[in-house]
Structure 1
Amino acid sequence: MRRVPACCLALASFCTASVASAETSEDEQVWVNLTAMGPITGDVVYFAELQPRMGDGASRLDQLLLRGAVGLKLSPAVTLYQGYAHVVVPVDGGKDVNEERSFQQLNWAMGKPWGGELTSRSRFEQRWRSDGGDTGWRLREMLRYEKPLKPGTQTVNALAYAEGFLALNDTDWGARSGFDQLRSFVGVELGVKDATTVELGYLNQVIDQSRGRTRVNHVASVSLFFRH
């Protein structure tokens, strides 16, 4: 019987460990976003959001997000917001994890290339969680493009966006500095009444859970925007 060299055994063990550590978990989810927005007075505006997110094959509440902000229109194309968010993460058989976020947000209407509309949303978050004492700092950048499917109308728009998340520090509740997640969306925007719109589509969420673990969520996304 031939003996396998020790170096080969070591290499095989290393490769096996690397594959085992590079784990990817997937889930099918449904996200609902209800948003109201509009002017308060003059150039002062607001938005308020309610977002239940269903996970585990859309069988249970995975996350509930309440978020609001007040903003100032610096120009017809640029608005600066200060906001706050409360996030509830249910834990099976345990106490819910709560996250509080303060954030600053810059919305920029960049222009109308290729017959559509290109916008940017930059958000800087300060995060605190009930299962730790550290403050997490995170940057988020979204680029969004929409284009009417029928020229001259806004009834049905093709819609796509991508949003990258970058964590700026490590925390005792699990955040790790570097790439945090990427969200990519394709779908349609439907005009309902006046300035109210509905967005329907598929969202892919890739989350880096550190130590070689990646989570991929396949999301059916439904958003209602009520503008007044």
Structure 2
Amino acid sequence: MSRILVPTLALALLTTIAAAPVAAQTNHDEALWVNATVMGRISGPLVYFAEVQPRVTDGVSRLSQVLLRPAIGYQISPAVTVYQGYAHVIEPLENRPDRSEDRLFQQVTWNVGKIGQLEVQSRTRLEQRWRSDGDGMSLRARQMMRFEYPLAPGTRRVAALGSVEGFVGLKSADWGGVTGFDQVRTFVGLEIPLPGTSTLEAGYLNQTRDASGRRVDMAHVASLTLFVRL
């Protein structure tokens, strides 16, 4: 287990360090991301999830993206599930037709286990990306480590959450995409139990993206995520 965990943690740490180039100009923005995800079991080891996520940016004044992302998974073990999914991203543009992006992605989620009361989870995702305003496919890898610490006893309790996710471009396309470090997202917040096994996650997400001309784009995001488990 440690052979996999150590490189994963190292990747998250390295991408975090790379997210703050020395002497780079940083542009700040305030945003709101709302995510609703439905998940459940199809039959036996077959599972699914489907999510919709509108993102409001530019000082929480403009709808900049809507993501639709379904996936079907196979539960290899109680701790490991592999997924094949598809994402469609819509970007509304002023006085122009909307721009869209289509993605295929493969994902592995791994419930690593506990360190004392701290629960650790890993999510690895590989994305193949096509966009409507150009040719070619961009390839991107994402690695997230998530940490959950219960603030009260029992299984239905409020928990403190933290996560870090690094994005690395493996192949660019005519329309864009990067090769090398792309961005890092860091989240801190709370998991709040809802009726049944559903939960609400609320907190602050920092998105730091590499940009052209020694520039860094940093978004300060109020993040709300509803998980409906059927």
The CA deviation at 1:36 is 0.2
- Over residues 77-123 of structure 1, what are the superposed CA-to-partner deviations in whole Å (9 max), with x where a residue is unaligned? 00000000000111122221100000000000000112021000000
Q: Distance in 2 between matches of 1:75 and 1:153?
A: 21
Code of the aligned partner of 1:78: V
Distance in structure 1 (CA, Å) of the matches to 2:35 and 2:133: 26
| Structure 1 residue 23: Cα displacement | 3.1
Mapped pair 1:96 → 2:73: no
The 8 Å contact of residues 176 and 210 in structure 1, kept in 2 or not, is answered as no
- Which structure 1 segments of 5+ residues have no match? 1-17
Report 1 or 2 for greater relative contact order, CA contacts < 8 Å, sequence distance ≥ 6. 2
Give the distance between the partners of 2:154 and 2:37, measured in 1 at CA.
26
Are residue 142 (structure 1) and residue 147 (structure 2) matched?
A: no
Query: Identity of aligned pairs, percent?
Result: 53
State the TM-score, normalizing by the size of structure 1. 0.89
| Secondary structure of the corresponding residue to residue 194 of structure 2 | strand
Match of 2:187 in 1: 185
Cα distance in 2 for partners of 1:27, 1:225 equals 26
* Residues 1:41 and 2:25 are matched in the alignment: no
Alignment of 1:146-185 (within 5 A): 146-185=148-187
Amino acid at match of 1:165: F
Query: Could you tell me how far apart the structure 1 residues matched to 2:212 and 2:197 are?
Result: 42
**Distance in 2 between residues matched to 1:44 and 1:122, nearest whole Å:** 19
Bigger shift: residues 36-45 or 163-172: 163-172
Work out the CA distance in 1 between the residues paired with 2:132 and 2:216: 24
> Given residue 39 of structure 2, which amino acid in structure 1 is its aligned partner?
M
Q: CA deviation at 1:153?
A: 4.4
Letter in 2 for 1:53: R
> In the alignment, what sits opposite 2:62?
60
Partner of 1:225: 227
Length, aligned pairs only: 209
Selected match of 2:209 from 168, 185, 207: 207
Aligned AA (1:66): L
Cα separation, 2, equivalents of 1:170 and 1:36: 32
SS of the equivalent of 2:116 reads helix
- Kindly provide the amino acid, as one letter, of the partner of residue 63 in structure 2: L
Q: Distance in 1 between matches of 2:210 and 2:66?
A: 21
Query: C-alpha separation between the residues in 2 aligned to 1:211 and 1:134?
Result: 24
Matches within 5 A, 1:63-142: 63-142=65-144
CA contact (8 A) 1:182 1:205 kept: yes
Q: What does the per-residue CA deviation read over 1:166-210, in whole Å, with 9 as the maximum and x for residues that have no partner?
A: 001222112120000000000000001111000000000001123
